[in-house]
Amino acid sequence: MDRRNRAIIIQAIIAGITIMAVTWGTHYNWPDFVHVKHGLPLTWGIHTLSTIAGPADTWEINLVAMTIDLAIWLALILLASIYLTRKTG
């Protein structure tokens, strides 16, 4: 396998991990508050499914956390790209 092709494959894998991390949802099933938190490492969205008052379908979005989360993952892609281009020559 060519070094350039290997670098492209690794970048595609990192991009896939980034998409998965940003959209990752963790389901919390508490007795009076069922919700899903989205984002890794920062929680940028909370989807509330049920509260003590009954079923709910609300979203709480934190745009600052989402922007920082995206910046972290895009910086990781950039650093990996720089590292791979220097390593492969």
pLDDT at 28: 95
One digit per residue, pLDDT tens: the chain, 89 residues? Answer: 677 787 788 888 888 888 888 888 999 999 899 999 998 889 999 999 999 999 999 999 999 999 999 899 889 888 888 887 787 66
> Which residues face 10 on adjacent strands?
none
pLDDT at 3: 72
pLDDT at 1: 64
Place of tokens 């956390």: 65
pLDDT at 58: 96
